Structure formats: structure tokens, C-alpha cells
Amino acid sequence: MAISQVTKTSIDVAYDLGSDLAECQPSRLRVAAHTTISGLPPVADDHPVSGLTGKLRIELTRRPGDTDYGPPDVLSVSSAMERGLTSESARVGLSPPEGKAHLSAAEARRIKAHREACRADIGDRTICETGAPHPVSGPVTDAMPAALTRSVRESLEAYGGMTILHLKCFNGTRCDAAFTVGRHRLEMSYRIQALKSVPTCWELTAFRVTRPVPELANFAAPLPNQGCVDR
């Protein structure tokens, strides 16, 4: 993988998947341009490929919200076959495009401090916006509350380290949950929204601690990032 050009709106990538793949020919590349200081999960897009070598143009979109995280600084690429098997990601650092710069050290520290105050210090009643990249306002389309609850529960259980005592979703826009972490009970409310591209899928947009636990002040609350109700 080689970066041939970086602009404010796109990244040009040349790829060479090798010649020893035998029957494991990839059908697509999964590419994510990521700004690591955001603390948000990388958002990958699939690009179909028809050969072992070629070029891709990755279009860049700014994450919504008021926070400017600067240009992406890491590009991740993995290959996937028709049967769903994927390779490990190859990662390369990105230089900022001409006329742009990565955030200053002071700005990076400010963003990191805000993120950690939201996600780690749950001894206070607080509401934290996640800056999710794709959601649109409104409920998850065609999702009955029970199906949505099941989807969010599966996402939460993937984190491990806690026991879910109660979880219920309402109107495709909100889910309330209670956990035990050790001997402590934590209660939270999640705000979720439909994805623009797949309206039967959802993404977390904000969370609120409804029952703070001072003893857990340094515990990172379990967060469901995204999921689908049509699995």
C-alpha cells in the first residue's frame, strides 16, 4: 500500500495484494481514514477490487459536530473475500494535505482531557456526546422495541467485565440500562439514532449517567457503538 496524494477532500492509494493468494482472492478492500485524537472508532468503507494491483481514491468527510479534530493521521486497509474472511489491517501514517496541519499538542491535550472526563469520570451526572459519524435524527426504522433491545444487549455483552441487570429500549431512540461492576450498580441511558445508509441499523450518539457511583470514578463505562436489528 502506498499513498500517492493527500488533499483536503481525498486520498489516492495504490495497492499491491501480492501474487501468492491462490484461491483466496479478495473481492474488496476495507479502508478507513482515521483521526486518532478523536478517540472515536474508525469508520471503514468497502471498495470492490478486480485484480491484485490497482488504485483507489478515498473521499474524506468531516465528522459532524463542533470539534475540529484536524485531518486524518492514519490510513488502515484490509482485504476481504466473498466468503467474509478478512486480512489483518495494514496501517500507514498520513501527512496533512497542503495548507492544513495536524492539531497542536495543546489542542490534542484539550480534546483528550474532555474525552476522558466524559468516558472515565462517571462519578458525576453528565451527558456526553460521542460525535458519531453517520447517524440521522429519528428512530431506527422498522425496529420493534424488543428487537432493538436485543441488538443493543448483544453489543453491550461484547464488552464483557460487567453483568447486565436491566436493559430496555424505547421508540428506537433511547435505551436505559443497569449493570453491576464488581459489587457496584451503575445505571445509564443511551441515545441512539438510525444510520443514514442502513436505517435498520443504529449508532450511539450520546450517553448519560443516571445513577453515578463515586467508587467507579475511574471506570470506563461500557458503550455500545453500533449495531443492526436485521441480523
CA end-to-end span of the chain, whole Å?
33
Residue-by-residue DSSP string for 77-142: EEEE-TTS-BPPPEEEE-PPPTT--PPPHHHHHHHHHHHHHHHT-TTS--EEE---SSEESSPPTT
What is residue 149's predicted lDDT score, i.e. its pLDDT?
Answer: 92
pLDDT at position 82 over 90: no
Which pLDDT tens digit goes with each residue over 46-58?
Answer: 888 877 788 888 8
Q: If you average pLDDT over residues 225-229, what whole number do you get?
A: 83
| 0.85 exceeded by pTM | no
Q: If you average pLDDT over residues 128-140, what whole number do you get?
A: 76
Which pLDDT tens digit goes with each residue over 183-212?
Answer: 888 888 899 988 887 888 898 888 888 887
pLDDT at position 167 over 90: yes
